[in-house]
Amino acid sequence: MRVLVVGSGGREHALAWRLARSAKVTEVFAAPGNSGTASLGTNLDIAEIDIDGLVKAAADQSVDLVVVGPEVPLSLGLSDRMGAAGIPCFGPSRAAARLESSKSFARDVLDAAGVPGPEYRVFRSASAALAYAEHRNRPLVVKADGLAAGKGVAMCVNLEDAKTAINTCMQDRMFGEAGETVVIEEWLRGPEVSVFGFTDGENLSPLVAAADYKRVGDGDTGPNTGGMGSYGPPESWDESLAERIRRKIMLPVIREMATRGSPYRGALYCGLMLTDDGPRVLEFNCRFGDPETQAIMPRLVSDPVEAMMACATGTLYDTDPVEWSDSPVVAVVMVSGGYPGSYQTGLEIDGLDGPVADDEDSLVFHAGVRRAEDATERLLTSGGRVLACVGTGESVEEARNIAYRRAGEISFDGAYYRRDIADLRSGQPAATR
C-alpha cells in the first residue's frame, strides 16, 4: 500500500516511521513532511492546508490511504474531500472534527452524552462574559471557541487575568473569528492525561494513554508550549481507569456523534483531568497529540494500516484488535533557545546521524529540522520544537535514561530541553531537588 501522511511535525515523522514499518506498506509520502519523513519516503511540496493540492497529489500518486496528522486540514474538510475522491482517509469529517474546532460544540456533545467536565458557560458578548467572571471571582479558564494554534486557552488565577483574557479574545480579536465566542470553565485540579483510541464511528479500539508536559520549565514552570515531552503509560493509568474512560466517556461521545449524523472516524483524543471526583474531560481533539504520538507510536504492536484503514472504512469490528505494548516510552523534546518566544533558525545540528538513528531502543523524531539545500546537506533547525529523543525500556526509568542519553549526544546553539520529563519523583519542582 501507498500511504500519504499529511503534516510536517514530530507527530507526522512518528506516524510515517510506524507506517513504514508495516509489512503492508510499500511507499510512504509526506506532505509537506520534514527531513525525518524524507528519510522514509518522498516529501511532496504541498502545504497541509492546500486541500485541492493534497487531493490531486493523492490521486496522482495512486495513494491507498491518507493519514492526517494536524487538526487544521481536517477542520477544512480534507477527509470529506478525499472520501469524495474515493481515497480512504484516516481522520474525521469536517463536521466530526468540530469536536476540536469548536469548544462550545464539544461541551454541548459532552452534556448530551452525560460525560463529566468542568462547570462552564458559553458567551458571545464580552460584557456578559466579564460580568460572569466578576460574579464567579475565582480561578477560571477562558477559552477561545475556535482553533487558535494551541494559544486560545488562558489559565486565569484571578479576575484581572480573566478580564485580560476575555478582552484579548473578544475586543482585541487576537484569534479573529475563533475568539468571537468564548467558553469560561471552572479551573480543575489534578494530574492530566491524554487518552487515545482508534474509532470507526461505532467501535473503539483499546485505549492508550500518555502524559504531556506543556510548560517550558522544569517543575512545570514558565509559559505553555506546544509540548516539551511525553511518556506513557502514565503513573496514574491502570486497566480500571481505562475501562471507566472507555465506557463512561469515549463510547458515549462516539454514540452521540453518530446520533447527530456526524459519525466520528479516526483517532479520538481525550484530554482528561483526574480529579478527586474522578476523570473529567478538558477537551476532545480530532487527531493524535504532539508530542504524545512520539511516545505512543513505538508502543503500537498491531498493524497501523489495518487499524487506520478500518477506521476510514467503518470496519474496525471485523479487523484484528489494535494492540498496545505496556513497555514504557519516554520522549524528550529539544527546542530552540527562546522558545516559546522568538528564536533563531538555520542552526546546524550535531550528533543527528541517521534521520531516525534507530538503535532499537532509541529513536529521534524530527520536527523543526530541514536539510540544507547545498552540497553539505547539513541538518539545520527550522522551528521552535526541533526534535524529540525517544527511549523505550523495561521501566520508565530505563526509557528515560535512554532518551536523555540520546539528547545528550545532540547539540545546536541554544538547544534546550527539560530535565524532568518522566521523572516520577517530581511533584516537587525539579529546581528544588
- Which residues are at the interface with ligand AMP (CB under 6 A)? 118, 141, 143, 153, 185-188, 192, 214, 271, 282-283
Nearer to ligand GLY, 51 or 210 (CB): 210
92 binds ligand GLY (CB under 6 A): no
Least distance (Å) from ligand GLY to the CB of residue 333?
10
101 binds ligand GLY (CB under 6 A): no
Least distance (Å) from ligand AMP to the CB of residue 119?
9
By a kind-dependent CB cut-off of 5 to 8 A, residue 290 interacts, out of ligand GLY, ligand AMP, none, with ligand GLY
> Are the C-beta atoms of residues 58 and 82 closer than 8 Å to each other?
yes
Number of residues that bind ligand GLY (CB under 6 A): 6
Nearer to ligand AMP, 3 or 272 (CB): 272
100 binds ligand GLY (CB under 6 A): no
- Binding flags for ligand GLY, 268-297, as an x/- string (CB under 6 A): -----------------x---xx-x-----
Nearer to ligand AMP, 275 or 401 (CB): 275
Nearer to ligand GLY, 81 or 287 (CB): 287
Q: Nine-digit cell at 238?
A: 491502570
Least distance (Å) from ligand AMP to the CB of residue 321?
29
Q: Which residue is nearest to ligand AMP (CB)?
A: 283
Nearer to ligand GLY, 35 or 294 (CB): 294
> Are the C-beta atoms of residues 206 and 196 closer than 8 Å to each other?
no
Tell which positions 208-237 bind ligand GLY, by CB under 6 A.
212, 227
423 binds ligand GLY (CB under 6 A): no
By a kind-dependent CB cut-off of 5 to 8 A, residue 118 interacts, out of ligand GLY, ligand AMP, none, with ligand AMP
Which parts of this chain interact with ligand GLY (CB under 6 A)? Answer: 212, 227, 285, 289-290, 292
